[in-house]
Amino acid sequence: MSEETSRAGFVAVIGAPNAGKSTLVNALVGQKVAIVSPKAQTTRARLMGIAIHQQSQILLVDTPGIFEPKRRLDRAMVAAAWGGAGDADLVLLVIDAAAGLNREVEKIVAGLEERAHPLWIALNKVDIIKKPKLLGLAMQLTERLKPEKVFMISAAQGEGVGDLKVDLAGAMPEGPWLYPEDEVSDATDRMIAAELTREQIVNQLHQELPYATVVETETWEDREDGATVIHQQILVERDSQKAIVIGKGGSRLKTIGALAREEIAQHLGRKVHLFLHVKVNPRWDEDRSIYREIGLEWAD
């Protein structure tokens, strides 16, 4: 890689909850760095995924979905998302094409109109939408937001992702790479492991429970025999939630633990022993140290 032609820059990936931002970041990086679920508000804090194409390093800032904040945690998440957009070389707005230009997206569009950024749009989930609707949406957005480019992609199936990556690579400012070439994320293994457990909680449980949950790392030991021993604590807000997470005779916690352990082992490339403990803390979402741990700024 010669110094003159190398490029590196930041791309803020923003959009409504569930648009497919994290799925797209994983697809562009070429491996899983961000957790994904069919439920809204899965991503809580900014996380950077690093994609490489030829001489370009593309630093993709995955952000929480932007929505109407109600609680303190909501406000911190939405602030993190807009903060990600503020520092970027380029803003990539991901829209669930099947959901279209709904109220949530309208709000983001209004917010973007106030920010002067090079803006690209990715209309996602084209695998589940009919062509005419897609073209109508693309025209409407082009008129409203005057983006530099509009892409039609399926982040889940990979359609259009390669072309988007090539164009992003070309749009990065010239300059030296900002991260080592083998790095795929700015998150530590501990953070990723905690997120992988939370992903299983979100996917295995229903209603408000996933939202009321935080996963903390208690201890982490890389043993000489090649195994890693991890103790994580799952914080919930009420006793009734604790009972749901644990399940009958501990069955649900066992399933969550087994699936998370597999994912964490795959990420680390090591054998993993995972121990999960559930604890009730009615006001964890008012605890500053927990925000710090999950990578969010305290929102007043």
Ligand X SMILES: Nc1nc2c(ncn2[C@@H]2O[C@H](COP(=O)(O)OP(=O)(O)OP(=O)(O)O)[C@@H](O)[C@H]2O)c(=O)[nH]1
Q: Please report whether residue 38 would count as binding ligand X according to CB under 6 A.
A: yes
Residues 92-131 that bind ligand X (CB under 6 A): 124-125, 127-128
Give the residue, chosen from 9, 49, 64, 257, that forms a contact with ligand X under the rule CB under 6 A.
64
Give the residue, chosen from 22, 26, 200, 241, that forms a contact with Mg ion under the rule CB under 5 A.
22
Residue with Cβ nearer Mg ion (35 or 246)? 35
**Considering the complex, what minimum distance in angstroms separates the CB of residue 153 from ligand X?**
7
**Considering the complex, what minimum distance in angstroms separates the CB of residue 76 from ligand X?**
14
Give the residue, chosen from 8, 11, 12, 19, that forms a contact with ligand X under the rule CB under 6 A.
19
Q: Please report whether residue 160 would count as binding ligand X according to CB under 6 A.
A: no
**Considering the complex, what minimum distance in angstroms separates the CB of residue 85 from Mg ion?**
15
**Considering the complex, what minimum distance in angstroms separates the CB of residue 265 from ligand X?**
22
Q: Please report whether residue 228 would count as binding Mg ion according to CB under 5 A.
A: no
Total binding residues toward ligand X, as defined by CB under 6 A: 25
**Considering the complex, what minimum distance in angstroms separates the CB of residue 44 from ligand X?**
8
Residue with Cβ nearer ligand X (47 or 171)? 47
Q: According to the 3-state scheme, what is the secondary structure of the chain?
A: CCCCCCEEEEEEEEECCCCCHHHHHHHHHCCCCCCCCCCCCCCCCCEEEEEEECCEEEEEEECCCCCCCCCHHHHHHHHHHHHHHHCCCEEEEEEECCCCCCHHHHHHHHHHHCCCCCEEEEEECHHHCCHHHHHHHHHHHHHHHCCCEEEECECCCCECHHHHHHHHHHHCCECCCCCCCCCCECCCHHHHHHHHHHHHHHHHCCCCCHHHCEEEEEEEEECCCCEEEEEEEEEECCHHHHHHHHCHHHHHHHHHHHHHHHHHHHHHCCEEEEEEEEEECCCHHHCHHHHHHHCCCCCC
User: Given the rule CB under 6 A, which residues bind ligand X?
Assistant: 15, 17-23, 36-38, 40-43, 64-65, 124-125, 127-128, 154-157
User: Given the rule CB under 5 A, which residues bind Mg ion?
Assistant: 21-22, 42-43
